[in-house]
Amino acid sequence: MKRQEYTEANRKAWDEAAPYHARQNQAALLKSFAQPGYSCLDPIETEVLLELGLKGKAAAQLCCNNGRELLSLEALGAGPCAGFDISEAFIAQAEELKAAGGASCSFHCTDIYEIGPEHAGAYDLIYVTIGALCWMPDLAAFFDVASLLCKPGGHLFLYDKHPIMDMFEPGYEGEAAFTPQHSYFRETPFAEADGLDYWSGKAYAGETYYSFPHSLGTVLNAIINAGFDLRRFNEYPHDIGMAWKKYEGREAQFPLCYMVLAERRG
């Protein structure tokens, strides 16, 4: 399949998932974002972002979903903030959350690979969080977009699930869940059609969607090759994706997530 065929299939699956997510979350999020200064970001990313300095920094989130993280970034001082996502239905939810608190972020419905040249060099911070890279059939092209959007001297902040966890099937029970099921170096996408309602954890028969495992080496090299210098790289034992809670708190602990801070070369 071509890149556009993958992203189009995934667009349909995400649009289909949007009402399921809204049923779980939207009412509570509307209440939260009506409060001035509300942020859903965890203390670890908040500390790194505040240390970087957000005041007056133009920020772009790639794969912003319902905008809750970008709205939080604005509440922490960043601005102007722009979110990009392929799902019209999630962008509509982001607009609702924005209106609840009178935020000024802009949300753009687009395939990341198709972001227009008007955004080139417009951002001090490119913000990428869990569940973005795994939808990218071409990681090098994704980070080329990040680099294109970023001002020289600006930063890329990435906080994602650790790719080693792609070796396991968290839905399996007992020891099977802790036994590697897939190669760390797998290159073929995962194809699934059981829905993307990870908030309720309930499956539904839906559109086929495709996710792409990328090793840590592939991610870091793609960042460097796109024109960024690494400034910080941390691995952590906590789950930021809900699927991996049972892998926390073990004596022989897996890395469950990681954070990269990189600076755009001048």
Kindly state whether residue 14 participates in binding ligand SAM, applying the rule CB under 6 A: yes
Q: How far is CA 185 from CA 31, 80, 118, 214, 259, in A?
A: 43, 39, 36, 8, 20
Radius of gyration over every alpha carbon of the chain, rounded to an integer in angstroms: 18
Strands of the sheet with 228-236, listed across from one edge: 106-109, 81-85, 59-62, 123-129, 150-161, 257-264, 228-236
Kindly state whether residue 32 participates in binding ligand SAM, applying the rule CB under 6 A: no
Kindly state whether residue 86 participates in binding ligand SAM, applying the rule CB under 6 A: yes
Kindly state whether residue 39 participates in binding ligand SAM, applying the rule CB under 6 A: no
Question: To the nearest whole angstrom, how small is the minimum distance from the Cβ of residue 12 to ligand SAM?
Answer: 10
The residues in 90-119 that bind ligand SAM, with binding defined as CB under 6 A, are 90, 111-112
Asked if 103 and 74 touch (Cβ cutoff 8 Å), the reply is yes
Q: Among residues 16, 85, 197, 239, which is the contact residue for ligand SAM, using CB under 6 A?
A: 85
Task: Name the segment binding ligand SAM (CB under 6 A); options: 42-50, 85-93, 164-172, 251-259.
Answer: 85-93
Q: How many CB atoms lie within 10 A of CB 55?
A: 9
Helices (H), the chain: 3-34, 43-52, 68-75, 88-101, 139-149, 216-225
- The neighbouring-strand residues paired with 154 are none
**Rounded distance, CA 247 to CA 244, Å?**
5
Structure tokens given for 146? 């990040």
Question: Of the two residues 10 and 39, which places its CB atom closer to ligand SAM in the complex?
Answer: 10
Question: To the nearest whole angstrom, how small is the minimum distance from the Cβ of residue 57 to ligand SAM?
Answer: 19
Question: To the nearest whole angstrom, how small is the minimum distance from the Cβ of residue 14 to ligand SAM?
Answer: 4
Q: Among residues 29, 49, 54, 63, which is the contact residue for ligand SAM, using CB under 6 A?
A: 63
Kindly state whether residue 87 participates in binding ligand SAM, applying the rule CB under 6 A: yes
Give the DSSP H or E segment for 176: none
Question: Of the two residues 32 and 66, which places its CB atom closer to ligand SAM in the complex?
Answer: 66
Task: Name the segment binding ligand SAM (CB under 6 A); options: 82-90, 149-157, 214-222, 223-231.
Answer: 82-90
Task: Name the segment binding ligand SAM (CB under 6 A); options: 52-60, 81-89, 171-179, 258-266.
Answer: 81-89
Q: At what angle do helices 88-101 and 68-75 cross, to 10 degrees?
A: 30
CA angle 259, 97, 258 (to 5 degrees): 10
Residues near ligand SAM (CB under 6 A): 7, 10, 14, 63, 65-66, 68-69, 85-87, 90, 111-112, 129-132, 135
